[in-house]
Each structure stands twice: as C-alpha cells, then as structure tokens.
Amino acid sequence: MNQTNTKSIYSLTLEEMRQSLADAKLPKYAADQVYQWIYKQNKYLPESWSNVSKKVKNHLLTNFTWDLPKRVWEGVSTDGTRKFLIGLVDGQTIETVAIFSKERVTLCISSQVGCAIGCTFCYTGTLGLTRHLASEEIVGQYLMVNQRLRELDLLREDQNPNIVYMGQGEPLHNFDNVSQATKVIMEPKGIGLGQRKITLSTSGLVPQIEKLSDFPPVNIAISLHAARDNLRTELMPINKAYDLKRLFEAIKTIPLKGHRSITYEYILISEYNDGEEDVAGLLGLLDKKKSKINLIPFNEHPSSKFKKPTPEKVDWFRKQFLDRGYVCTVRVTKGDDIYAACGQLKNEVEQNNKPQLTL
C-alpha cells in the first residue's frame, strides 16, 4: 500500500469519508460501500471489495493508513476471560479485556496509555499517563480483538461485542478522541453498535461531565467508591478538585432519555468503605429512581494494601439497598488470575499463574 498520509482510515466517520471522496471528485456513495466492507463484512483489504471502483480504492490507499494495532500477548483466564496486550505504532502498549457471559461478549476498552487520575486502589494508576489514544487506536483495538475472537470461533461474523470504556485511562480526559471513536462504532451503516451496548465510565471529571450533551448518547457510569469526601479523596485524588458536591451538581446536567439511569460503581474494600456509615452516605447521595448501584468487590494486586471483603459482607452491603428499593448488583469478578479484572490492568505480562500464551 502506497501510503503518503498518516491519517488512519479508522479515524473517519461515514460523513468524513464521504467528504474525502467528494473532495477528490469521486462518488460520495462509495463511502457507504467501503464502510460496510470494513465494519460489517470485516474485510480490511480493499482488493477484496467487489463493488468499489479502482479509483476509490486508490484514493483511500494513497491518502490513509490501514494498519490495525498488533497483538503482542494474550492471556486466558480459568474462567475464559481473555486479556490482550496490544502494541501501538510508536511502541507503546495498552491492554484490552474480552469478557464472556451467556448473554453477551463485552470488551473492556482502553482510552489512554496509562492514566493520570492516580486512584490508589487501581493498578493502572501506578503507571501515570503516557499519552491519549487516537480515535483510530480505540476503534483499532476493538476491530483487532474482534478479528482474533472470530479466528478462535468465540465470536460470530455478524456479532459485535458490547463496549465498556473501563480499561486503562480516564475516557473523559480523552474526550474528543473517545467521542470520535464512539461515533465510528455506532454508525448504523458500519458496526452499528447501539447506545445501550456502550458504557462510558468516568472518575468524575466535572468539566467533561458537563459536556456530555456533546458526546454520543451512551450509558454513563460514575466511579464513586465513597460517600464521604475525606474517604473519596484518599481513594481518588481527583476528589480534591471535584468533590462530591460539585460532582453531583454536574451529574444533574447529564442528559437522560426516557427511563434511563446512571450507574454508580462502588468498589467494596474490607474494613474501609463497607460499613453502616457508608451505606447511610450513599442513601443520602443517590436518587432511587435515577440510580443503579454496581458493587465491585476489591480485586487485590501486588501494589495495594487494600483487601477484598468477605462474600457475607458483600451480601450484607447489597441487602441494605435492595431492602430500600434500589437497583443494586454485584459485579462478578472475572480474569483476576491473569490480572484482567477491574483495576488490575498494567501493560505487562504477569509471570504469576503463567496464563496460556497464544502468540
């Protein structure tokens, strides 16, 4: 491929691709055909596109790059969860996790190389931030992992996994690129992933939360983890800048359609934020009609002093909300034996447990 431009084909929305063709005096409708070949037929080599003209192919091949991120390493958990170490063009790496259930396949997508937020319970937080991912790197990791899952017969050709932006990084810190990637992934003439199948999780960047009306409509999850400012600041340094009062004022500005609600993620840490005072604090903060509580038993990792609560304590904590009419779920821990569970991603091949390698 004779590529003279560094802009990636996977960074383009359908309308942008149409405009590129129009600027080159080529038929705009060909963009619709190209989008379907790439995103519906999973054909990334233009030579296989039977209904696209040679001129259109040459224009796209000359003016855009086509490389997908590379699979550097792959680990398989005893529960079937797969973690991918993905190599980017500049040598940086990110991690993406494929989670399987009876109902769906979900990809936990990264939005940054590392993370600047520095949550003290999170393994990724020990990395610091190297850089944002470009929109094509976000789309590319989705396509690359899907391609691999299809090779393994873990994903049908016509099936597209759900997305949770809960991998490495703070998605709203990389607002424009995550927004652009989401538009590409939601395009009906391409992947066409519905808004209810995409969840964006944020640690609470108030200025960006207030801009969510400019973001494609998706599910919103707030990483809350404490109902008292002093405790939340210990866990999440971002609370120093945007405390609970400011956070919940910003949450009121999030556009919610119909009977939609906001999910509040709450990591339960043994003898830390799992007591009666914490229950009372959450009850005082959360609107029963507009809130879902997702409890996440802490996933232990080498750099943390925190401990996982007992199953009995998790059940007790959940019952306090169920008895009061709240929707409250417990996230099933998956992939923790290969450090693929929530808060465990760190861009390295773990030697403990020696997960299966498929290179």
- Enter the DSSP assignment of 189: T
- Which residues lie closer than 8 Å to 329 by C-beta, 6 or more apart? 292, 293, 294, 295, 318
Among the listed residues 170, 187, 342, 350, the single catalytic one is: 342
Place of tokens 């054909």: 43
| Coil/strand/helix, residue 3 | coil
Nearest to 209 by CA among 332, 200, 44: 200
157 catalytic per annotation: no
Among the listed residues 95, 136, 170, 350, the single catalytic one is: 95
Pairing of strands 105-108, 112-114: unpaired
Q: Indicate the length of the chain as a whole number.
A: 359
Tokens of 228: 């008292």
342 catalytic per annotation: yes
Which helix (H) or strand (E) is 82 found in, with range? Answer: strand 82-87
* Dihedral Cα 307, 311, 317, 320, nearest 10 deg: 180
- Which residues lie closer than 8 Å to 359 by C-beta, 6 or more apart? 71, 73, 74
Query: Catalytic positions, please?
Result: 95, 342
